[in-house]
Chains A and B, each alone.
Chain A
Amino acid sequence: MGYTAVKGGAEAIAAAERLLLELPTEAGELRVELRQVRHQLKASVDKVMAEGGVYAPDLAALAIVQTEGDLMEAAFMLRAYRSTLPRLGYSLPVADREMRVIRRISSAFRDVPGGQVLGRTRDYTQRLFDFTGTAAGSAALNAATPEAAAASLTSDGSDAVPWYLPKVSDAMRAMGVMDQLPKPSDDAEPFDITREALRFPASRPAWLQALARGESGALLALSYSSIRGFGGIANHGTIAELRAGDLPLQVVHPLTGLPVTIGSFRATAVEMTGNEKTKDAAGAKGDRYGLSYGIVFGQEERKAIAMALLDSTLQAQAPVEGEPPPAADQEMVLYHSDGVESLGFVEHLKLPHFVTFGSGLQATLERSAVASGAALREEEPHSHGPGDEPHTHGADGAKQPSHGAVPTAG
């Protein structure tokens, strides 16, 4: 029976793609519109933008529709799209106290300056299915004006919530229990993980960037391991403040040189704090409240908290003895929390590996052939092919298996 080579890879891929051109919809079923995804599946759009590292709600929505809801694949599409876009420039740094807040809570205190603003959250609802399907749409929830959006926060028409709220950590600094913020030094360029490969030990800007676009499930698992007690000192175990809202995007105007706001983006920022027992040079013990930070595009609160927890464990000194636990181990956290990298490598196992596998299999067959004495020769198993020289490699260059003349077709 003749052996026919396995061909048809190109045809197979083309056929697989044709299958993807069709969506598994029934007759009469409407296609999902991008704005439906943006408005009604907001959490998915937020996750895809955050992990893709690109704030582009429409592109994220298109990616979600195109991947049929595979959010990690969608983030991957956005991340890949970045690579074809030129980098135009850099925005000015913005502090989250400039945030136009739609929700702000603190776990550290019962009441804080500016108040606890629950906003629109599911945290205190019961996780029950609503089978009535009668929730009304509200364009105000996407309102662009402060007045309209503020009105949406107070259903009883009471005084609108102020946009800009004082920060809890500012109050703690005023109390004297938290250090003043360091002055940003003028010439410090943050490490840019999209431009350089990480190097270890990684700096705080590098790990914060990596965490900001880390896969939320991976960050959740690692941060959970820390607060559950599996290790990693999370000094900062209390949420001083969680705030969600819109941050201004500011750049330097190329002609006037002045800062100009060109837009805004939704973000969630979490500051966590806790008591770091300190010892000064004289050995005197003291208390100091430090700060850990998490910030994400959109409103993925659970990821922002996970990020702040990991910022805390990574800031803390690793124990002197033994291996650091996962949440405190920079290489563990930073190398294994990127969704695009992890899904790529895990799924690459679906690729052919028969050459590498075959190389090992040959070695196994060799050993069993030699052991059973059923080997095809009695001498040293060095030669291959009739009469060839032992195949070693020498200083005079590669001893190639002899190919003879290059075959020419027909």
Chain B
Amino acid sequence: MTIADLMTGSAAGLHRQFQIALDPVRDTQATFRVVLNALSWPGSVWRLPTAAAGAPANAWAAAVLITLLDHETTLATEALPALAELATFVRQRTSHSPAALDRADFVLVSGEGADATLPGSVALGSLSYPEESATVIVLVPSLDPAAGGLQLGLAGPGVPPGLTAQVAGIPQAFWLARTAVVSAYPCGFDLVLIDDEGRIAAFPRTTAITPTPEEA
């Protein structure tokens, strides 16, 4: 262990000390490719390659956060003890900073936390800099199609005609609020869903999402 390792929060230095199972080079690269696929093909469900061993909650989401965050980014976390612990675990490995919900680069919430007020509360960017907007990560119970859930009609870049998705654990009111917010395109936010079995799906702001109410 050198002074350099102590001074940096980088995964490489701490990896040597703490023997984290997530390889800072190889696993982050593989994880990033899956996240990129998810965002490129909205609504399709993909499998994350690695979980971050030792994470206090959803080790798959921890791997995604460790892949994307560093000391130049900020994260807002829903006020749940499990998520707070997860954020701390990630922070030890990325040195990211916490930030208020309306300014954070990344937002971490549970399914219930993705409520009707969330879309209007996160950073949405500006006309000149629409990329200065949040990536919202929602931890959902399951993205397994067999698990059922709200049926979402999809359209937009990356979406083959007629594709639908099924997402349980996020209230319909969230989707309706999201539609209103992303109508101010290019301003908006981008959504990533991760379940605790390593499935991931994503919806950039360009995806039109129409929930169909579940059959009675």
CB proximity of B196 to chain A, nearest CB, Å: 32
In the complex, whether B12 has a CB less than 8 A from a CB of chain A is yes
* Cβ-based interface call for A89 (8 A): yes
Q: Are A89 and B7 in contact (CB under 8 A)?
A: yes
Contact A255 B6 (CB under 8 A): yes
| Contact code string B5-42 (vs A, CB < 8 Å = 1, else 0) | 01110101000000000000000000000000000000
Kindly state the separation between the CA atoms of A88 and B72 in the bound complex, as whole angstroms.
Answer: 13
CA gap between A363 and B8 in the complex, in Å: 57
Q: Mark A214-252, 1 if CB is under 8 A from B, else 0.
A: 000000000000000000000000000000000000010
| Count: A-B pairs, CB below 8 Å | 15
Is B4 on the interface with A (CB-CB < 8 A)?
yes
Q: Are A86 and B72 in contact (CB under 8 A)?
A: no
> A252's closest neighbor in chain B, by CB?
B7
Inter-subunit contact A89/B8 (CB<8 Å): yes
- Contact of B3 with A by CB under 8 A: yes
Q: Which residues of A contact B3 (CB under 8 A)?
A: 254
Q: How far is the CB of A187 from chain B (nearest CB, A)?
A: 12
From A86, A87, A88, A255, residue with most partner B Cβ within 10 Å:
A88
Give the one of A89, A195, A254 with max B CB within 10 A: A89
Chain B interface mostly helix, strand, loop or mixed?
helix
CB <8 Å contact, B10 and A86: yes
CA distance A89 to B3 in the complex (A): 11
A87 / chain B contacts, CB cutoff of 8 Å: 8
Q: Which residues of A contact B72 (CB under 8 A)?
A: 195
Q: Which residues of B contact A251 (CB under 8 A)?
A: 7
Interface residues on A, range: under 10
Inter-chain CA distance A251–B3, complex, in Å, is 11
The chain A residue sitting closest to B10, CB to CB, is: A86
Q: For chain A, residues 268 to 301, give those with C-beta under 8 angstroms from any C-beta of chain B.
A: none
Interface bits A191-206 vs B (CB < 8 Å: 1, else 0): 0000100000000000
Neighbouring B residues of A88 by C-beta, 8 Å = 4, 7-8
In the bound complex, residues from chain B placing their C-beta under 8 Å from that of A255 are 6
**Distance between Cα atoms of A86 and B3 in the complex (Å):** 14
A398 to chain B, nearest CB (A): 16
Q: Name, among B7, B10, B12, B72, the residue most crowded by chain A CB atoms within 10 Å (CB to CB).
A: B7
Closest chain-B Cβ to A189's Cβ sits at a distance in Å of 10
CA of A255 to CA of B7 in the docked complex: distance in angstroms? Answer: 9
List residues 50-80 of chain B with CB under 8 A from any CB of chain A: 72
In the complex the two chains form, what is the Cα distance from A86 to B12 in whole Å?
9
Residues of A close to B12: CB separation below 8 A: 86
Chain A residues lying within 8 Å of B4, measured Cβ to Cβ, are 88
**Complex: chain B residue closest to A255, CB-CB:** B6
Provide the bound-state CA to CA distance between A368 and B3, in Å.
71
Contact partners of A195 in chain B: CB under 8 A: 72
Complex interface bits, B143-166 against A, C-beta within 8 A gives 1, otherwise 0: 000000000000000000000000
Tell me the nearest residue of chain A to B8, going by C-beta: A88
A251 to B4, CA, bound (A): 12
Complex contacts, B7 vs chain A, CB 8 Å? 88-89, 251, 254
B8 engages A86 (CB within 8 Å): yes
A256 to chain B, nearest CB (A): 12
Q: Which residues of A contact B10 (CB under 8 A)?
A: 86
B6 neighbours in A (Cβ, 8 Å) = 254-255
Q: How far is the CA of A254 from the CA of B7 in the complex (A)?
A: 6
A181 CB → nearest B CB, Å? 29
Cα(A251)–Cα(B72), bound, Å = 19
- Chain B contacts for A254, CB-based, 8 A: 3, 6-7
Complex: how many Å from CA A88 to CA B3?
10
User: Interface readout for A78-118 with B: 1 if CB under 8 Å, 0 if not?
Assistant: 00000000111100000000000000000000000000000
Measured CB to CB, the residues of A under 8 A from B are: 86-89, 195, 251, 254-255
Cross-chain pairs A/B with CB under 8 angstroms, 6 sampled = A88-B8, A89-B7, A89-B8, A251-B7, A254-B3, A254-B6
Given contacts A88-B4, A88-B8, 8 further A-B contacts (CB under 8 A): A86-B8, A86-B10, A87-B8, A88-B7, A254-B3, A254-B6, A254-B7, A255-B6
